[in-house]
Amino acid sequence: MTSLRRRSDSTELVSDPFERICNAMKRVDRAAFVPANLTPYARSEAALPIGYGKTLSKPSTVAFMLSAVEISPGFQVLEVGSGSGYVLAVLAELGARAHGMENIPSLAQSARKRLDRLGYPGVLLKCGDGKSGWPDYAPFDAILVSAAMLGEVPRALLDQLKSGGTLIAPVAVKAGADGIMQRFEIWTALQEADGTRRYLGESAGECEFVLAD
């Protein structure tokens, strides 16, 4: 069972944990995760192309997503659409057990080499379709989706959340006759007294991401 409501004010996520996230992001050199010709722009508040039609999200977007799922040390976390591996490195700095999925082989291979070179060998990264999640390492305390899902969040991802776990994803939905808008959705897995699971979701404002393949 799933239900979706609208979050009234996404800025309420900014708190002490948010400061911890910002500090973790400062420890990860964003310039190491973009093409050499874009390193002068690595400190900017901009999404940067990393090849194959993919981008590295804005720093503020990364911070918002991490704060939405309230990462704590030791959390088992999955990122879908890991791209160059930047968010995985930040997760590692936050003390999470980071797992990433990237469906473009060249991006996955270069991200793996980059993470190893920068001192994150414990991050797990797999090349594959992230819409199916990573059952071998489920359940997860948190799941972050870094590419827009068309229509809805796949049930396979929700089912890989721990009870009380949280997922954040950009979702592309129809707006008007022929338009499409993207919004953040935040979902929490809940366990009922009778053992059944349900998912409570909320909309957390508009966003802009590359569409998932």
Model pLDDT for residues 145-157, shown as the tens digit of each residue: 999 999 999 999 9
Helix 59-68 to helix 86-93 angle (10° resolution) is 50
Tell me, yes or no, whether 100 lies in a domain.
Answer: no
Give the CA distances from residue 65 to residues 13, 18, 91, 158, 159, in Å, rounded to whole numbers and listed in that order: 10, 10, 11, 16, 20
Does 150 fall in a domain?
Answer: yes
Q: What is the pLDDT of residue 183?
A: 94
Is 57 annotated as catalytic?
A: yes
The 10s digit of each residue's pLDDT in 45-86 is 999 999 999 999 999 999 999 999 999 999 999 999 999 999
Asked if residue 143 belongs to a domain, the reply is yes
Integer-rounded Cα Rg, in Å, for the chain is 16
The confidence score (pLDDT) of residue 11 equals 38
Judge whether 211 lies within some domain. Answer: no
For tokens 């999925």, the residue is 101
CATH code of 134's domain: 3.40.50.150
Q: Over 90: is that where the pLDDT of 17 sits?
A: no
Segment 158-185 mean pLDDT: 90
Burial (Cβ within 10 Å: 0-12, 13-18, ≥19) of residue 11: exposed
Cβ within 8 Å of residue 154, ≥6 positions away: 131, 132, 133
- Asked whether residue 23 is assigned to any structural domain, the reply reads yes
pLDDT at res. 179: 76
Alpha helices for 27-154 (secondary structure H): 59-68, 86-93, 105-117
Is the separation of the CB atoms in 166 and 139 below 8 Å? no
- Is residue 40 situated within a structural domain? yes
pTM for the structure as a whole? 0.90
Positive or negative CA dihedral for 145, 183, 185, 211?
negative
Q: Which of these is catalytic: 8, 10, 15, 57?
A: 57
Number of domains in the chain: 1
Q: How far apart are CA 154 and CA 149, in angstroms?
A: 8
Domain holding 57, by residue range, is 2-81+130-206
